[in-house]
Amino acid sequence: MSKIKLSVCGVIMYQSKFLIVKRSETDDFLPNCWEFPGGGVEDGETITEALKREIKEEIGLDISSKYPQLIGISEEFMNEDKTERYLQLNYKIVMDTEPNMILSSEHVAFDWAETTDSRLDDFLKEIIRQVATGK
């Protein structure tokens, strides 16, 4: 049986665009990659608590007054022998106004991307497909 790492992802939307953040080049995990904000669920923490904490930690945004909508699950194996599985719960968060963000030290940039943005890899495109279809 494979070991499972559970994480959450916030697809933050404003005016039909998606917030993406770029990881630092010195980060151990996916350096220089663009991603949606999110991260691991800690012991004793609910999924909702993890989502709120990760968004606050990574981009300084308080989403406690928002109603994140679960849009899908992403799954990948983290190693070649497939003994470590990565499950990510993806949430859509719609903003009424453009948020003021403060990046954590693990990120060096943010931007608002459209579905055709060349910085989106296949993993991110699949999450955007989940947003578009609701599954």
In this predicted model, what pLDDT tens digit does every residue of 56-95 receive, in sequence order?
999 999 998 888 999 999 988 877 888 888 899 999 999 9
What are the structural domain ranges in the chain? 3-133
> Strand 3-14 to strand 17-23: parallel, antiparallel, or no bridges (unpaired)?
antiparallel
The CATH code of the domain at 3-133 is 3.90.79.10
CA–CA separation, 110 and 97 (whole Å): 16
Q: How many CB atoms lie within 10 A of CB 48?
A: 13
pTM: 0.89
